[in-house]
Structure 1
Amino acid sequence: MKCNKDEVTNVGINLKAGTAEEIMAKYDREFAFRKFQGPWARIITIICVIWSLGQLYTAAFGIFPSTLQRAPHVGFALVLIFLLYPAMRKSKSIKIPWYDYILAILSALVSLYHVIFYEDLINRAGNFNDMDMWISVIAVLLIIEATRRIAGPVITSLGVVFLLYAYFGPEFSGFLAHPGFTVKRIATFQWLSTEGILGIPIDVSSTFIFLFMLFAAFLKKTGIGDWMTNVAVGLTGSATGGPAKAAVVASATQGTISGSSVANTVGTGSVTIPLMKSIGYRPEFAGAVEAAASTGGQLMPPIMGAAAFVMTEFLNIPYYKIALAAAIPALLYFTGIFITVHLEAKKTGLKGLPREQLPDWKHLLKTKWFLSLPLFGIIVMLVKGFTPMLAALIGILMIIAVAMILPETRLNLEDLVQGLEDGARSALPVVTACATAGIIVGVITLSGLGLKMAGGIVGLAGGNVYLTLLYTMIGSLILGMGVPTTANYIIQATVSAPALVQVGINPLAAHLFVFYFGIVADITPPVALAAFAGSGIARSDPFRTGFEAFKLGFAAYLVPYIFALSPVLILVNVTPLAITKALITALIGMFGIGASTTGFFVTRCYWWERLLLFPAGVCLIDPGSFTDTIGLVIIVVIYGLQKLRSRSPKRPYVNT
């Protein structure tokens, strides 16, 4: 199992070649597409490349007027989805049926309708004709069907329910009742205005998000992502529980780029999970470590999940401020997993791998340090106030430039074309999620439901801030179990975040709160898709793996409450001294929570020690002097007792 200085062990490479695509297709609809060869493969490539080049053109020379930018963006996605994704997910045929040709043609036509009749549509806004209505109806139905194929039935059903709600408004009672709207009004509002399908979510998708998808595709194509994984494995692989720690570090760096919990779990997990099992980690724990770390990647600045870019539009603040606000909570999330992994390894006596079986991370950094420049470049540009579009464009150019330095990373014309195609393909689920979320937001806007729902949540909680947070968390988790992160955030930002603001939560904290819980739904039983994907690689029980991932990522369920109630952790109205104190005590608190969940601190914990360590850790995460004192006293006392116990002669240990 030896490997040279630049390669991770072949255990992961063989697994990736054999099962990665099957696992991703099983747990993520995005990867269940037709595998074309020959002419149709070239046609798909041409469509993807044209779409990507168009997006790069607008990034370099300026975007088009709203609907001229957004409608073609949706049109390209719809055409590709109907050509690539079969009507039935389990279909193995690569032959395109006749009805998918028709759907693809209709997708192009409804998109071109905006381009051809742009001025006419502006002039008759609010007084649309029958042709406008039928085009809009077709567009809405195409988006619903495309979303069903690539994102699944849950978000599709939500879109349909909201459309029915817009039509049958008088049939409802209480605060849900409204006068109702005609089919013509609903459809044209959705497709011909900029408040429905072509609203803020698609605006962000057609500008920032697509370019960062391209950025991630080129990182992968040049091997920069693999280089980061190799450095992480080499750096931590020989430590106690090394492969698991490597999974945490690698997933933090990879996940922030990919933005997909399942894809990141399979991508890095195909290397790290076999390594974890090779040193004695239980299969369930190995799969859970990778799933929990991969899910947290979307929380990790500088390039968080696509929803973070939508947040900039909802809050009307620069992206770099959102990234800075998310930095400490993300650090606590990964620190919690890292500590839990370390304590689990100490408890079970698991060592790291021999250094000769690991990549030489010093050699990798010395010879290929420049491969990290695109990531650092994007961070600098965002902090300096560059628009995300320009930062992503320059980042892509930097990737291509640094890749030319080494023969093994150098891109030829075929590689460039493949990168453009991969970027376009990866954008498809985001476009449909944003479009269908736009339908939901459009109905909420049209009917006035948003303010009613916010008031309803507050009323249900009796105005209590803790209950409002709890109800919002439950709603985000349930929605996140079947709805993509981006769509989940958009819906909750429209419905639940205003409720949090009503009870006094800082607006940025409120939006980050729903954003976080939409993401950790991927490791929340009973439907924990990232954990199920990890179990596919680890060959473990999916539900046990999901429960282990839930325990590992438990910090993600606590930290949002802390920054919502006291936004010091998201850098709102703080001094350098206050944030330093809050960070140090929170990191100590993570040890308390990790010791409680694993049952090991200095030595194995008694049941009452575990019972005390958990609230002590929570007290330390809460940035208050009184709670910090209580938490610190408990942890110091238990640490001292365990230190004495570990030095005493061995005696039988009983843990209840």
Structure 2
Amino acid sequence: MNQQNISDAKRHNWVDISIVVIIAALASFHLYTASVGILPSYAQASVHWALVSAYILLTKPLKFKFGRLIDLAIIAVNVYLTYYQMVIQEDMIFRAGIYYKYEIVFSIIALLIALEVSRRVIGFILPVISILFLSYALLGSHLTGLFKTVSFSISRIAPYLYTSTDGLFGQTLLVSAQFIFLFVLFGTILDMTGAGSFFVDMSFSLTGRARGGPAQAAIYSSMLMGTINGSGAANVVTTGTFTIPLMKKVGFKPSMSGAIEAVASSGGQIMPPVMGAVAFLMSEITGIEYATIAMASLIPAVLYYLTLSTGVYLTARRDHIPAIPKEELADFFKTLKSGWLYFLPLVMLVALLFKGYSPQRSAFGAIVATLVVGFIVNRANMTLSNFVTALKKAANGIAPIAAACILAGIIMGVINLTGLGLKISGIIEGIAAGRLLVALILAMLTSLLLGMGLPTSAAYMILAVLVAPAVIKMGASTLSAHLFILYFGALSTITPPVALSTFAAAGIAEANIWKTGIDALKLAATGFIIPFVFVFNEELLLVGSGVQITIAFVTAMIGCLVLASSLIGWFGTKLSIVSRLLLLPCAIMLFMANPPILSVVGLVLSSVIIGGEFTIRKRMSTANAA
């Protein structure tokens, strides 16, 4: 080995060791604070960002000469800045917003580091959006009309974003530091024990004999992992690497395979009990109990997955995709017997949450239970190297989320500093002019736009400030308004032009991005309809009598079937374009259980339309035979 190779090997060796030390420190810090008690919010967020940013800089280094040295300098400076931000918090109370000149410089450097570190892991889109918001704060006084602001100097903006609870180390990053990392870690450790493979095997044993069995397995295994994960895109990368090839193998088109995985993974963010950690955040913001939020979210989430599952089944029938032969499938009861203990951590998580334990303590308990189960069920997997791999996966999963959250802090800080949130809410109220439906449409568009490129939790934080107040003022309940924006914040990850989950799935499937995006929008159609329905008819949120809720749920399930038929174009027979267009409003009427006559009309019309298609096809077959 020549001198250059020896030098390169040594360099990689110290980098690898440093990465292992950082990921071990990251996991240890969060497990300690989850079990013993979290630090003050600014300290919790600061330590979290110091460790995550160091990991990003070491794993995504600058590529030119001396790039590593520059990265090390950035790490050292950032560690000091996060430390300094912690130690001056109490002093800031007595200073009443007065900053020293060097603190202004510190603030500017902290902003620049956040932008650069985030750029390396999530690309240019969100950093550019953050810079636009900063520009608005700096130059908004030169505008005219509603968006005109008072004059803010950089010496006012930067320290505010550096030290306040609305800025870099504020609520958005705290979500990542308090909740999301623990659930990402829970997911990676659960997968390390073999639970991920078990869930897939279980899904296959249950659904394999149906048409498109691998796709159904992908849906429900991705749902299980997606509700724990804080990012739809991250879940696509985690589970899609083995579900997408299986779907392609049995006959699904690449674009449809990618779309199924993207829609299933993103839906995990709306599926109780964890909802990608947003349920806990929503509880803190709204003051509504976690259990109420989780229960209210159940029926809409079930309808979302029912439409997806039905759409996949109809696609398989339409495209003549065969079922998996029985002899190639694992026996359900044997599979369940071999790994039923893997359900215990999930049961413990739900039980602790519903008993009133904090999300952090509940996640900690679930992680401990996972480790115990891992040693009982599959001791061979519980090796040091596998632990390190699981910690790396957790760090990889949290890196883009934390980066997006810290930039969301910039956006949130500017919104609060300039009063932009009130202005946007005012615009929505002004255009809606008291019409709730118009307000909801505007809220949907705003949510899809502002949610681009953000993990669901960060998107929800911003939308809860910008959009939810306007929807509530128009007459929606607090619960329905916040669930409404959550849905569209989650769906923004599959909605073009910035559809991170769709892009990730298309890459794995080797499919055209836009075809995958169109297929994803079809499969996720219920997600775009249900939020409007539950704002007007809260029976789907378990508000009302038992009879009302039951009727609403049953008619909505029928609506899911009709909607899937309309979008896929098949229901026992190929449906014409005219019939598909007519079935769409019928499905919407079936979702609207109040007044009941709408559901009755929708059911009758859809039956007539589908019956007419069968009659026409039968006559055509008879004529051709003659």
Q: TM-score, normalised by structure 1?
A: 0.88
RMSD: 2.4
2:114 alignment counterpart = 143
- Pair 1:312–1:360, CA change in 2 (3 A): same
Answer yes or no: is the 8 Å Cα contact 1:201–1:310 preserved in 2: no
Deviations, residues 507-538 of structure 1 (Å, cap 9, x unaligned): 22222222211222232234433333333333
Q: Which runs of 5 or more structure 1 residues have no equivalent in the other structure? A: 1-35
**Aligned partner of residue 596 in structure 1, secondary structure:** helix
Quote the Cα distance in structure 1 between the aligned partners of 2:520 and 2:313: 15
- Pair 1:123–1:418, CA change in 2 (3 A): farther
**Aligned with residue 23 of structure 2, among 39, 42, 48:** 48
Measure how far apart 1:415 and its partner are. 3.6
Answer yes or no: is the 8 Å Cα contact 1:207–1:389 preserved in 2: yes
Measure how far apart 1:396 and its partner are. 0.5
1:204 alignment counterpart = 175
2:166 alignment counterpart = 195
Answer yes or no: is the 8 Å Cα contact 1:60–1:393 preserved in 2: yes
1:27 alignment counterpart = none
**Aligned partner of residue 650 in structure 1, secondary structure:** helix
- Pair 1:233–1:267, CA change in 2 (3 A): farther
Quote the Cα distance in structure 2 between the aligned partners of 1:183 and 1:649: 74
**Aligned with residue 575 of structure 2, among 600, 605, 625:** 605
**Aligned partner of residue 179 in structure 1, secondary structure:** coil
- Pair 1:476–1:425, CA change in 2 (3 A): same
- Pair 1:490–1:117, CA change in 2 (3 A): closer
1:80 alignment counterpart = 55
User: Greater shift after overlay, 388-397 or 321-330?
Assistant: 321-330
**Aligned with residue 68 of structure 1, among 40, 43, 46:** 43
**Aligned with residue 415 of structure 2, among 441, 444, 461:** 444
Quote the Cα distance in structure 1 between the aligned partners of 2:516 and 2:386: 37
- Pair 1:95–1:530, CA change in 2 (3 A): farther
Deviations, residues 217-251 of structure 1 (Å, cap 9, x unaligned): 21122121221011112211121222222222222
2:223 alignment counterpart = 252
**Aligned partner of residue 575 in structure 2, secondary structure:** coil
Pairs within 5 Å for 1:377-526: 377-408=348-379, 410-526=381-497
- Pair 1:649–1:185, CA change in 2 (3 A): closer
Deviations, residues 84-134 of structure 1 (Å, cap 9, x unaligned): 2235xxx5x898532212111111010111344454344324222223222
User: Greater shift after overlay, 147-156 or 316-325?
Assistant: 316-325
**Aligned partner of residue 78 in structure 1, secondary structure:** helix
**Aligned partner of residue 621 in structure 2, secondary structure:** coil
Quote the Cα distance in structure 2 between the aligned partners of 1:297 and 1:94: 43
**Aligned partner of residue 275 in structure 2, secondary structure:** coil
Quote the Cα distance in structure 2 between the aligned partners of 1:534 and 1:429: 17
**Aligned partner of residue 405 in structure 1, secondary structure:** helix
Quote the Cα distance in structure 1 between the aligned partners of 2:321 and 2:44: 55
Quote the Cα distance in structure 2 between the aligned partners of 1:648 and 1:181: 74
Measure how far apart 1:376 and its partner are. 1.4
1:619 alignment counterpart = 589
Measure how far apart 1:623 and its partner are. 2.5
1:272 alignment counterpart = 243
Quote the Cα distance in structure 2 between the aligned partners of 1:159 and 1:381: 38
**Aligned with residue 109 of structure 1, among 74, 77, 80:** 80
Deviations, residues 606-627 of structure 1 (Å, cap 9, x unaligned): 4443232211111111232121
Answer yes or no: is the 8 Å Cα contact 2:494–2:500 preserved in 1: yes
User: Greater shift after overlay, 66-75 or 397-406?
Assistant: 66-75
1:16 alignment counterpart = none
User: Greater shift after overlay, 321-330 or 634-643?
Assistant: 634-643
- Pair 1:581–1:534, CA change in 2 (3 A): same
1:57 alignment counterpart = 32
Measure how far apart 1:137 and its partner are. 1.9
1:186 and 2:154 equivalent? Answer: no
Number of positions where the alignment pairs a residue of Structure 1 with one of Structure 2: 613
Q: Which runs of 5 or more structure 2 residues have no equivalent in the other structure? A: 1-10
- Pair 1:613–1:156, CA change in 2 (3 A): same
Answer yes or no: is the 8 Å Cα contact 2:186–2:367 preserved in 1: yes
Quote the Cα distance in structure 2 between the aligned partners of 1:306 and 1:148: 24
Taking every aligned residue pair, what percent have the same amino acid on both sides? Answer: 38
Amino acid at match of 2:47: P
Q: TM-score, normalised by structure 2?
A: 0.92
Quote the Cα distance in structure 2 between the aligned partners of 1:341 and 1:299: 20
Measure how far apart 1:336 and its partner are. 0.4
Answer yes or no: is the 8 Å Cα contact 2:231–2:401 preserved in 1: no
Answer yes or no: is the 8 Å Cα contact 1:284–1:540 preserved in 2: yes
Answer yes or no: is the 8 Å Cα contact 2:264–2:305 preserved in 1: yes
Measure how far apart 1:293 and its partner are. 1.8
User: Greater shift after overlay, 134-143 or 318-327?
Assistant: 318-327
- Comparing both structures, which one devotes a greater share of its residues to helix? 2
User: Greater shift after overlay, 323-332 or 364-373?
Assistant: 323-332
Amino acid at match of 1:142: I
User: Greater shift after overlay, 623-632 or 354-363?
Assistant: 354-363
Answer yes or no: is the 8 Å Cα contact 2:232–2:455 preserved in 1: no
**Aligned partner of residue 463 in structure 1, secondary structure:** coil
Answer yes or no: is the 8 Å Cα contact 1:151–1:483 preserved in 2: no
Measure how far apart 1:645 and its partner are. 6.3
Quote the Cα distance in structure 1 between the aligned partners of 2:41 and 2:516: 45
Quote the Cα distance in structure 2 between the aligned partners of 1:552 and 1:539: 19
Quote the Cα distance in structure 2 between the aligned partners of 1:94 and 1:521: 39
Measure how far apart 1:154 and its partner are. 2.1
Quote the Cα distance in structure 1 between the aligned partners of 2:618 and 2:65: 66
